[in-house]
Amino acid sequence: MLMKDKKGLIVGIANNKSIAYGIAEACHKQGAELAFTYLNESLEKRVRPIAEEFNSKYVYPLDVNKPEELENLTKYIENDFGKIDFLVHSVAYAPREALDGRFVDTSKEAFNIAMETSVYSLISLTRACLPVMNDNGSILTLTYLGGPKYVPHYNVMGVAKAALESSVRYLAVDLGDRGIRVNAISAGPIKTLAASGIGDFRMILKWNELNTPLHKNVTTEEVGNSALYLLSDLASGVSGEIHYVDGGYNIMGLGRIVEDKDGKTVLAWDLQE
């Protein structure tokens, strides 16, 4: 089993539709021992049953914007695991009003919240876990195409994802002397709790489905399997990478062109039902 004797922390799981759930499931099936965190009491009620599903009794409170909770997290891990082998960072947030309208109208407060929660949290969480992480470990975060490219309604979160991807590269260099790898997965659109805050998300899903080379949207299981590779020793030579799991959509320059029933060349989008 790829993750036999491996111990890892999953930060940011919300429910069984989360991408982080798909990652946890893939790692658990391959023998990993897992710990989880929750943001508040409401999410704790969702996370604990998930932990039990994966045979874990380790569920810790964590608001990534509170230094004292990060300090406590280090102590929890040391007490329960000694050390861990991998960390999954699945944390992102921006005020809903900052995901609509014009990007130029983004308030300083919304910008700071998005950057602190979605980007700096990777840095602070990594720093908190370094004393309790084994050498040759792996850190993985989640990003999206809205970082390097424009995506409607993504606005300040796109800027945050761009900063997150840059942070992956700088952290990869910082931690390389210990053999700790830092990578990101850029997943295609998936119906998750986080995605519910994106305007016209159903249209984005449909567009993606019609225009990917594989003609489909990806699943949390598919993302989980790619994450399993990056977290396991199979990816021992991979660090600082942004790995796309989006059915190939990121390679497209224009929408996919097809022929209609009359043999006329049209966009695939124009033939949707």
Any residues with CB less than 8 A from the CB of 252 and at least 6 apart, and which? 211, 212, 213
Active site residue 150: no
**Residue 38 designated active-site:** no
Q: Which of 154, 170, 244, 249 is catalytic?
A: 154
Active-site residue, selected from the candidate residues 38, 60, 93, 144: 144
Strand-pairing partners, residue 37, are: 60
Catalytic residues: 144, 154
